[in-house]
Structure 1
Amino acid sequence: MKKIAFAGTDGRTMLSALIVSTAKSDEYPEEYQGVVVRGTPAMPRFAELMNWPIDFIPTASNSVEDYAGGLIQAIGDGKIDYVVPMPEALLFDGMVDMIEQAGHGGRVIGLSKAGAFIEGDKLKGKELCRTAGIPVADSWLEVDAKDYPTILSSCLNLIAAYGGAVLKYPYSAGGKGARIILNAWQIREVYDTLINDYRDAYRRLFGKKNRWPLLIESLMSGVEISFTILVDAGGNYQILPTAMDYPERFEGPASKDNPITGGVGAISPHPMETARLIQMAGETIAAPLIRTMKEMNILRPCILYPGCFVSLNSAKEPTRIRVSEINIRPGEPEAQPVARRIRNLGALVEATA
């Protein structure tokens, strides 16, 4: 029996392990054992109470070094066969590189530190999309976050041309770094809120005197849809069922008074999912992205998770798709309903590795 591990401490981690252990498939009759690496202190007891067939492997701490050390030992001891890191921070900090250096690179699904910029630096991610020919917001620019006059004029221009602007802290922000501006009155308040939230992070990265990169882009209209894409070392890929999360803190559209959170719930399939939409995502996003990653020598078995805006016609058929940002791990909470719909998750993970 192959043992598939998911490293992390959140709901998608435990649920994925449960699905690996319990889902049945007529096409893939092999049995798999789901494993949680680290988890939370309550998870083993909860799994025991629920009679869930999940194994747990602890780590000494939440550091990337202890995650890597625990995984290397577990792989060497035969306690796990493959592992999917769930938190993006583990990829940013080089956990995959550490496992590769220990000779177990074929057992882990995730990008190395060299490729983690795709999510970890949204400005470099935009440049990657430009190189690959992947459509993004119609207008975007990089500015110094301390240069408010330039930010003001840029936002006014984008509001006039596109009906809104989005300020984005371009580094890891747990899904909370985007701030929407819909009219001129909101610019200063939204800007001040973003700077207050990320001033310390900017100072850690760049100090007080250096430039603080900020991404400004035009507001994209359409339906928001994300795609989970499994990619193997050769560039073959599989797009999983879609999902839709509810990222706003309160009911209603996102605004300065209704900020975007890390996601408070999700459903699958997305109401607008069609075979044509999946095909469009493959042709417009997955194929050129993977090809460009291969050309940059950063492709390895991984999970890509692009968040997109889709335009539809009156027949609800997709006419245009644009990428907002690309993540490099399963979405949370979107991964939970997606996993629930998959009957062969263990086989998919094994095939990806």
Structure 2
Amino acid sequence: MAKVLVVGQGGREHALVWKLSQSPKVSEVFCAPGNAGTAEDATNVDIAADDCERLAAFAKENEIDLTVVGPEVPLVAGISDHFKAQGLRIFGPSKAAAALEGSKIFCKEIMRRANVPTADYWIFTDATDAVQFVQEREEESFVIKADGLAAGKGVSVCSNKADAIEAIHQMLTQKVFGDAGKKIIIEEVLEGQEVSVLALVDGRTIVTLEPAQDHKAAYDGDEGPNTGGMGAYTPAPFATPELIDEVISKILIPTIHTMRKNGSEFKGVLYAGLMLTKQGPKVLEYNVRLGDPEAQPVLMRLKSDLYEVLFAAADGKLKDLPDLEWDDRSAICVVMASEGYPGPISKGHSIRGLDEAAKTPETKVFHAGTAIDGGNVTNTGGRVLGVTSLGNDLSEAKKRAYEAIKCIRWQGAWCRKDISDKARSSEPAPE
């Protein structure tokens, strides 16, 4: 029987722990550092997600068969290289390959070389030059991105020049994202439906997961500032099999091929954030790990043994596996957040009603920013819980998720009320 270590402490990691622990081949799952939810479904280990030395030592000492890395920070720091150098099996890209997420400029350069469709872009290191560029352009809307990692918050979609100039000054002058904002990209704004396509890659073989749609804006109707994600659902009805074939042939395969030619072979999860424009799908961003909150509803629908799949991917043997099996039903994840998120938050409040929420049919409450304090579960982060439900259609899944949410209370808790509505408006009426 296998032992598995999941690295990270968010909702995606709780979903990974929950799914991996269901494998008949797995005897024990550890999570480092984990949260209050992973403590119920696994054994938490008090080691930070970016402490590669101690994590590798733990994996050796406890004879871990497979380590699965959730968040981007340790991947960009090179945790996979560190583990592999010590003969430890790990699922996640190398430091060189993780630069696809670690540097938006590197990502754009790879896409340009691979001829992958994406937004036009311009690179700046000087605020005066960037402001002058914006002022001289005819268009009013721009996307301003910090080059490096900024915890999902380094992107500003600006509908006018004043907002764009403010975003430029925040990154290059005020340095709100530190070194991550030393260089910025200014992009054209793409219009259309957003969809997330996640693929497991073992260097050569690509296996796509079921497509999902994330909701980045803080408030209903896609209003307000960008967040790490306020909810997601799957399947996304506009992500047809024909579209997925096009994404594989025109986006994923050229990217993986170009990465290999670049000397940075990709093994791990390649997450393509896409905009479905009138000219076809275009890449908004690449991530190098499962999305959060997309992982929660996607893994809820996965029927295949996740341990088997990730073990094969880590060993470069995805081609030997049968096709993934999926639950035909819909799944939705609604994020419950702390007061103030995505800005400064109020934390340390006791969360009530989790046991009651857990009684909702076909529902799992995944923990993200939680801890156990004196026997109580408290909120410790901006995104606190991902309430995730299955249903025969999105309407039923949404109804269940929000029923569970009604049970849960803490001071300042809030969520969006419209997760999945964009898809539900296109669902066929019941017979």
- TM-score bin, normalised by smaller chain: 0.7 to 0.9
**2:61 pairs with 1:95:** no
Partner residue of 1:70 out of 55, 64, 74 = 55
Q: Is the 1:72–1:102 contact (alpha carbons within 8 Å) kept by the matching residues of 2? A: no
* Partner residue, 2:420: none
The secondary structure found in structure 1 opposite 2:217 is coil
Question: Structure 1 CA distance, aligned partners of 2:174 and 2:296?
Answer: 29
Range 5-14 or range 34-43, more displaced = 34-43
Residue 100 of structure 2 aligns with an amino acid whose one-letter code is I
Q: Is the 1:164–1:183 contact (alpha carbons within 8 Å) kept by the matching residues of 2? A: yes
* Partner residue, 1:6: 6
Question: Structure 2 CA distance, aligned partners of 1:62 and 1:197?
Answer: 29
Q: Is the 1:88–1:329 contact (alpha carbons within 8 Å) kept by the matching residues of 2? A: yes
Residue 310 of structure 1 aligns with an amino acid whose one-letter code is L
Structure 2 portions without partners, runs of 5+: 315-431
Structure 1 residue 253: Cα displacement: 3.5
- Residues 115-147 of structure 1, C-alpha deviations (whole Å, 9 max, x = no match): 22111110111001111111110x211012422
Range 339-348 or range 69-78, more displaced = 69-78
- Residues 97-124 of structure 1, C-alpha deviations (whole Å, 9 max, x = no match): 21112122xx111122222211111011
Partner residue of 1:181 out of 158, 168, 177 = 158
Residue 288 of structure 1 aligns with an amino acid whose one-letter code is P
Residue 230 of structure 2 aligns with an amino acid whose one-letter code is V
Residue 42 of structure 2 aligns with an amino acid whose one-letter code is D
Query: Equivalences for 1:262-273 in 2 at 5 Å?
Result: 262-273=228-239
* Partner residue, 2:145: 168
Q: Quick one: percent identity of the two aligned structures? A: 28
Range 187-196 or range 92-101, more displaced = 187-196
Query: Equivalences for 1:72-221 in 2 at 5 Å?
Result: 72-75=57-60, 77-78=62-63, 80-104=64-88, 107-137=89-119, 139-147=120-128, 150-156=129-135, 160=139, 164-195=141-172, 198-199=175-176, 201-202=178-179, 212-221=182-191
Question: Structure 2 CA distance, aligned partners of 1:33 and 1:320?
Answer: 45
TM-score (norm 1): 0.81
Partner residue of 1:290 out of 226, 233, 256 = 256
Q: Is the 1:179–1:194 contact (alpha carbons within 8 Å) kept by the matching residues of 2? A: no
The secondary structure found in structure 1 opposite 2:252 is helix
Partner residue of 1:311 out of 255, 277, 295 = 277
CA 1:11–1:159: 2 relative to 1, 3 Å: farther
CA 1:300–1:72: 2 relative to 1, 3 Å: farther
Q: CA RMSD, aligned part only?
A: 2.4
Question: Structure 2 CA distance, aligned partners of 1:39 and 1:70?
Answer: 10
Range 291-300 or range 84-93, more displaced = 291-300
The secondary structure found in structure 2 opposite 1:252 is helix
With a CA cutoff of 8 Å and minimum separation of 6, indicate the structure with the bigger relative contact order: 1
* Partner residue, 2:340: none
- Residues 237-276 of structure 1, C-alpha deviations (whole Å, 9 max, x = no match): 101011111111112345xxx1111112111112312111
The answer to which structure has the higher strand fraction is 2
- Residues 173-231 of structure 1, C-alpha deviations (whole Å, 9 max, x = no match): 111111112223433334344457734603xx79xxxxx32100100111111111101
Question: Structure 2 CA distance, aligned partners of 1:77 and 1:184?
Answer: 55
Q: Is the 1:166–1:219 contact (alpha carbons within 8 Å) kept by the matching residues of 2? A: yes
Residue 12 of structure 2 aligns with an amino acid whose one-letter code is R
Question: Structure 2 CA distance, aligned partners of 1:193 and 1:102?
Answer: 41
Question: Structure 2 CA distance, aligned partners of 1:173 and 1:338?
Answer: 24
Question: Structure 1 CA distance, aligned partners of 2:178 and 2:248?
Answer: 35
Partner residue of 1:245 out of 183, 201, 214 = 214
Structure 1 portions without partners, runs of 5+: 24-29, 48-53, 207-211, 313-318
* Partner residue, 1:349: 310
